[in-house]
Amino acid sequence: MSGAAVAVKKKLSVPFDYSKYIRPGKLPHIWCPGCGHGIVLKALLRAIDKSGLKKDDICMVSGIGCSSRTPGYVDFNTLHTLHGRALSYATGVKLAKPELKVIVITGDGDALAIGGNHFIHTCRRNIDMTILVYTNAIYGMTGGQYSPATPVGSVSHTSRYGNIEPPFDTCEMAKASGATFVARGTAYHCQELERIILEAIKHKGTSVVDIIDSCPVYYGRMNKYKSASQMMEMIEKNGTISVKQAEKLPPEKLEGKLLRGILYKVDRPEYCEEYEKLIKKAQGKG
Amino acid sequence: MAEKKRILLQGNEACAEGALYAGCRFFAGYPITPSTEVAEALSVKLPKAGGKFIQMEDEIASISAIIGASLAGVKSMTATSGPGFSLKQEGIGFACLAEVPCVIVNVMRGGPSTGYPTGPGQADVMQARWGTHGDHPVIALTPAYVQEILFETVRAFNLAEKYRTPVMILYDEIVGHMREPIVLPEPGEIEVVDRVKPTCPPEEYFPYDERYEIAPLAAYGEGYRFHVTGLNHRQDGFPTNDPATIQEGIKRIIRKIENNRDDIMKNEEFHLDDAEICILAYGSTARSGREAVKIAREKGIKVGLLRPLTLWPFPEDTIREVSKRARVVVVPEMNLGQIVYEVERCADCEVVGIHRVDGEPITPAQIIEVMERYK
Ligand SMILES: Cc1ncc(C[n+]2csc(CCOP(=O)(O)OP(=O)(O)O)c2C)c(N)n1
Ligand code: SF4
């Protein structure tokens, strides 16, 4: 793109038109005021728009949870499945129609607790799909119980005395399981999140984006955040640091911080492409 | 015409052949005795046919993957046994409510729990009917011979596609592992049904269009961009809280099967016309039942066999009819009494069960012994 074109774009700064991706008549959504899920959805839609993918070519699959309600609002091929099972349904869709771009929306409970086994095996296969884990550190849909991403000490409706279970590091787990693109973003850093999701979508193989998100209604209230915006400030100030900033800091300054940005990216044979080779071999053509 | 070549196949292999014949091009499964050979055969044959086999991380993943593949337009199947069948139940309910065609094979073994993995059982027939939560329709087929497993697998796919519903095939370890000479049908020899796809413009498409008893089903990626959910939904596929719509949706999926019983039901009747004693048996137990009829007839006992090949929906009318003429219906099954209670519900005469769960088949002699009491 020429420099002039960039300048023009900046000057106009036309607000993004989300409506072309929203199904007519399907809003309002079920999310509470202040919930981070809507911010993530907007970043996702902008990323999809930039990817140039056609609506017909996207299949969005989700499990069960507040975050997993996303597919019901957007104008793609959409599949709202069972709690924890989104990745397995998505695997079937992708193998049956490899030309579809499969995007999975899943909560931290959906992906890491009940769906944990599917999560690691999907990453291991390196099947081409983008997995967005909405990590709000709580079970939102069922009213605020602790999840495998809830920090130690946090209060929830099932950890009234403070959570004693250490949380997963979703990114480390994705990488160790074999995902070939691993990144972390947050609902606060929404422009950055858009760029990360775009890269994840463009990646060939299993791409995982852990998205630090907020549930002001349950996690927030039970852990003494006065408002949704205060939770967002918490996401901004504490907890995460961008990969670039981290490079400049000594390790002791990074303790307890989660890295933001693209953390890992490699090329490895993708499952559907390998399957096509297997078919040729079986048919004696390989 | 020259006689067709017979080949010796195991029941599980015949099931794989039936699936291929029916156009199945996706299989997802997890190994479990005594069903594993279905997966093994398809792992070799599906890629040759341009299809795909995947060994998933468990049975839940397997049922989920076949539902996903079916929604993307590919005929799909999974196969399992006892414990794996339990794990699939939530997914089966999803396929019922979301009306996704697919085939689930359960090669029955002893239970509960890990039970007797290498022994036969027929104790999953009620799980097949009521295993998933909520009211729902069920089609379950119970072949008893190796050749029949092939034919019934084709029929299972045809019914699944026609009625947009999961169809189960229940046979037990005995026929699953038994080898019998069978004939592979030529292409075109038996009917293969494909789901009806929409022809309307995408903006007019409803995946649960109320104008139809069974609405056409689009495939993902073909321009229709429809929504599927396991929540109670409206005709456009989106969730609803409206009581009338919820109730009507559930009633409709049950009605679409009930209204088509003529097409779905299938029984074999053997010497039933003048039978005073009726044996009602399914699967491999019916093989003993048939033998028992032959032996008893030689002794002059008026016995006949009613063998449901469609066990669910239940052959209520046929049993009512038969029991008007018979004095007793004898129900042998390799469980401690499941179908026998369904028979009691429908029969106009006495009903007696023969049951065992020791992993041994019910023999003709065992059935004859009971019949002697009623001659
Ligand atoms: C088999 C099964 N178990 C439990 C539930 C209840 N359930 C619904 S959503 C949910 C947790 C949702 O939390 P998460 O995945 O983190 O998403 P969020 O709602 O926070 O976005 C649970 C436990 C269910 N629907 N199905
Ligand atoms: S309960 Fe929490 S996660 Fe769910 S919509 Fe409300 S704020 Fe969001």
Residues with CB under 6 A from ligand 1: A 64-67, 83, 107-110, 134, 136, 138-142, 147, 215
| C-alpha–C-alpha distance, residues B220 and B68, integer Å | 9
Amino acid at A10: K
* pLDDT tens per residue across span A234-283: 898 877 899 999 999 998 988 888 999 999 999 999 999 999 999 999 99
Residues of chain B with CATH 3.40.50.920: 268-374
- Which residues of A have a CB under 8 Å from any CB of B? 23, 26, 55-57, 59, 61, 64, 71-72, 75-82, 85, 88-97, 99-100, 117-118, 121, 275, 278-279, 281-283
Confidence at residue A3, expressed as pLDDT on a 0 to 100 scale:
44
Check whether A11 has a pLDDT greater than 70.
Answer: no
The answer to whether residue B73 neighbours chain A at the CB level (below 8 Å) is yes
From chain A, the residues in CB contact with B71 under 8 A are 79, 92-93
Residues of chain B with CATH 3.40.50.970: 6-183
Confidence at residue B290, expressed as pLDDT on a 0 to 100 scale:
98
The answer to whether the beta carbons of residues A93 and A61 sit under 8 Å apart is yes
Among A26, A77, A281, beta carbon nearest to B220: A77
* pLDDT tens per residue across span B105-162: 999 998 999 999 999 999 999 999 999 999 999 999 999 999 999 999 999 999 999 9
* pLDDT tens per residue across span B150-172: 999 999 999 999 999 999 999 99
Distances (CA, A) of B57 to A87, A155, A208, A249, A285: 11, 33, 19, 41, 29
Burial of A24 (0-12, 13-18, 19+ CB in 10 A): exposed
**CATH architecture of structural domain B268-374:** 3-Layer(aba) Sandwich (3.40)
Residue A88 to residue B72, Cβ atoms within 8 A: no
Confidence at residue A238, expressed as pLDDT on a 0 to 100 scale:
75
Q: Which atom of ligand 2 is nearest to the CA of A144?
A: 1
From chain A, the residues in CB contact with B239 under 8 A are 72
Q: Token pair of A187, please?
A: 């609902």
Mutate to test the pocket of ligand 2, among A29, A30, A35, A212 (most ligand atoms within 8 A of CB): A35
Q: How far is B345 from chain A (nearest CA, A)?
A: 35
Confidence at residue A239, expressed as pLDDT on a 0 to 100 scale:
78
* pLDDT tens per residue across span B96-108: 999 999 999 999 9
| C-alpha–C-alpha distance, residues A167 and A5, integer Å | 46
* pLDDT tens per residue across span B305-343: 999 999 999 999 999 999 999 999 999 999 999 999 999
Confidence at residue A1, expressed as pLDDT on a 0 to 100 scale:
38
| C-alpha–C-alpha distance, residues B244 and B266, integer Å | 34
Distances (CA, A) of A162 to A77, A159, B97: 41, 5, 40
Average pLDDT over every residue of B80-87:
98
Q: Number of C-alpha atoms within 13 angstroms, CB side, residue B317?
A: 8
Write a three-state SS string for chain A: CCHHHHHHHHHHCCCCCHHHHECCCCCCCCCCCCCCHHHHHHHHHHHHHHHCCCHHHEEEEECCCCHHHHHHCECCEEEECCCCCHHHHHHHHHHHCCCCEEEEEEEHHHHHHHCHHHHHHHHHHCCCEEEEEEECCCECCCCCECCCCCCCCCCECCECCCCCCCCCCHHHHHHHHCCCEEEEEECCCHHHHHHHHHHHHHCCCEEEEEEECCCHHHHHHHCCCCCHHHHHHHHHHCCEEEHHHHHCCCHHHHCCCEEEEEEEECCCCCHHHHHHHHHHHHCCCC
For domain B6-183, give the CATH superfamily: Thiamin diphosphate (ThDP)-binding fold, Pyr/PP domains (3.40.50.970)
The answer to whether the beta carbons of residues B61 and A118 sit under 8 Å apart is yes
Which residue, by CA, sits nearest to atom 5 of ligand 2?
A: A31
Check whether A10 has a pLDDT greater than 60.
Answer: no
| C-alpha–C-alpha distance, residues A131 and A208, integer Å | 5
* pLDDT tens per residue across span B225-277: 999 999 999 999 999 999 999 999 999 999 999 999 999 999 999 999 999 99
- Closest chain A residue to the Cα of B219, Cα to Cα: A77
Residue A72 to residue B238, Cβ atoms within 8 A: yes
Bond preceding residue B216 cis, omega within 30 of 0: no
| C-alpha–C-alpha distance, residues B66 and B54, integer Å | 10
Query: Could you tell me what percentage of chain B is helix, strand and coil, using 3-state DSSP and rounding each to the nearest 5?
Result: 40, 20, 40
Domains and their CATH numbers in chain A: 31-263+270-282 (3.40.50.970)
* Per-residue confidence band for A9, with pLDDT thresholds at 50, 70 and 90: low
